[in-house]
Amino acid sequence: MRPRDILMHLKCRDPTNVSSMKTIYNARLKMRVLQTCGRTHMQQLMKLIYDHGYIERHRVQENAEVVSEIFFAHPKSIQLVHAFPLVFMMDCTYKTNQYRMPLLEIVGVTSTGKTFVAALVYLRAEKEDNYAWAMECFKSLFDGIPFPKVIITDHELGLMKAVSMVFPSTVCLLCRVHIAKNVLKNCRKAFSDLETWDKFNGAWFGVMRALTEEEFCRKLQLLEDEFRAFPNELSYLHKTWVVKHRERFVSAWIDKHLHLGNTSTNRVEGHHAKLKRQLQTSIGNFVSSWQTIHNLLELQISDIRASFEESLTRIPHRYRGFLYRELVGVVSIYALQKIQTESYVADGIGPDSSLCNHVLYTTCGLPCAHMIGKYKQEGCAIPVAAIHPFWRKLGMTSFIEDFTDEVDIGPEIEMLLKRFNHGSIAQQKEMKICLKKLSDPTSTILLEPTVRKVDGKEQ
């Protein structure tokens, strides 16, 4: 709680209490000293991370033991990565710490439509090298499971290059919401009246949502013909987005990939907002920020578990019909909602595949309108086999069924002892130092970054 809220609570409980804000600050300081037991800030952080079972990696600045990047992932988040490894969204947020280090959040989505934080990374800078290191750390979480099918980012070139380099087989999509904001920022001022701008913006949205390459070319040509009086704005759209990145955000291309209905980074943006509400300040250190993040992740995981339980036990009345009888309790309610929405389209087109756009099938692995129309015509239920395995996973077990949690390090220990016994005294001392860091994270000699200042003042 904030100090002023603590004081107010004390006064409400006991009107004769004479505590002041200074009393609260002194008590909090005393508690922090007792908790750290003489450990440095980074030693305390490493202890908390180790005690709660997190995976942690870090880099230090050149010629110094000052931290430059820190990567960490909650143990349950890693389980969720293994269970739902198909689609992830990434974006940085700012003003979360006194070091003014951007915080990269990597989030995924569960079969029940819930967002989970896969990993977080404090970065020294938003450059390709920093992002590449973060992606390598993230890649290490995929131990024995497939790499993501799709990763969605904003128009951050360094991050885009790092994703393509570390995950060459993964499709990297661009956030449509960020594109819309960039178009608004760069084009809106050229339009004197709102009506003309709305037409221009609507035509551009139509280009983004074109379902085929032919439709894309036709709508783009219509946009250029209608607004040829705005050559600078058309040039911006063409050079910045259409030529370089159309395969990353136009429906004709992205709907060929299994993105599970995610075409923006809204999920990670939403978590940014939730995190900042909990932090309440932009001048916290690593320890205070980590404690807030940890509490938030614990609540998030509880919410996800509850959503699994709901899909397994709760059967909404609208899914009791013959069409869903094989899916209830097997497929998430979130997926059933998508199927039900598509079934309304099926009522209009029936089993005619030529009238169906097949988008739900290609992007989500769920029956599209003409398939549902066929099931309705034949009077049979949608078979479980028609549903992608992603939507049938209602727990945190690994996506690969034979994945085991048992870890054997016997061979590595034997190799280590052999190398130690045959090494020089200097090599043995170096190995001992490394083993000390692994066995006792609180013994680290890492230093926290300096508090960055703005206009000569601390942030």
Model pLDDT for residues 181-231, shown as the tens digit of each residue: 999 999 999 999 999 999 999 999 999 999 999 999 999 999 999 999 999
Task: Give the least confident one: 40-44, 99-103, 238-242.
Answer: 40-44
Question: pLDDT: is 409 or 262 the higher one?
Answer: 262
Cα angle 434-435-438, degrees, rounded to a multiple of 5:
95
| Contact of 452 with 99, CB cutoff 8 Å | yes
Domain 42-175+264-306 fold: Nucleotidyltransferase; domain 5 (3.30.420)
**pLDDT at residue number 282:** 85
Residue 219 identity:
K
How many percent of the chain have pLDDT more than 90?
72
**pLDDT at residue number 405:** 55
Q: Give the whole-angstrom CA distance, residue 81 versus residue 110.
A: 9
Task: Give the least confident one: 115-119, 166-170, 254-258, 455-459.
Answer: 455-459
Indicate if the pLDDT at residue 403 is higher than 60.
no
**pLDDT at residue number 440:** 80
φ, ψ dihedrals at 387, nearest 5° = -105, 130
Indicate if the pLDDT at residue 411 is higher than 70.
yes
**pLDDT at residue number 249:** 97
| pLDDT band per the 50, 70, 90 thresholds, residue 357 | very high
Question: Which token pair is 379?
Answer: 């009077």
Q: Residue 282 contacts by C-beta under 8 Å, 6 or more apart in sequence?
A: 95, 96, 97, 98, 459
**pLDDT at residue number 453:** 62
**pLDDT at residue number 458:** 46
Q: Give the whole-angstrom CA distance, residue 92 versus residue 105.
A: 6
Cα dihedral across residues 171, 177, 178, 182: positive or negative: positive
Give the pLDDT confidence of 265-307 residue by residue, as tens digits: 999 999 999 999 998 888 889 998 999 999 999 999 999 999 9
| pLDDT band per the 50, 70, 90 thresholds, residue 163 | very high
Question: pLDDT: is 316 or 216 the higher one?
Answer: 216
Between helices 333-349 and 369-378, what is the axis angle to 10°? 80
> Measured between alpha carbons, how far is residue 429 from residues 23, 322, 352, 436 in Å?
48, 70, 73, 10
**pLDDT at residue number 402:** 44
Q: Give the whole-angstrom CA distance, residue 206 versus residue 223.
A: 9
Cα angle 116-118-121, degrees, rounded to a multiple of 5:
125
Task: Find the mean pLDDT for residues 318-338.
Answer: 91
Neighbours of 14 (CB within 10 A): 10
Cα angle 34-36-39, degrees, rounded to a multiple of 5:
135
Question: pLDDT: is 452 or 447 the higher one?
Answer: 447
Can you give the pTM of this predicted structure?
Answer: 0.87
Residue extents of the structural domains in the chain: 3-36, 42-175+264-306, 178-254, 315-392
Run of H or E residues at 253: helix 251-254
Q: Residue 100 contacts by C-beta under 8 Å, 6 or more apart in sequence?
A: 94, 452, 459
Question: Which token pair is 452?
Answer: 């960055």
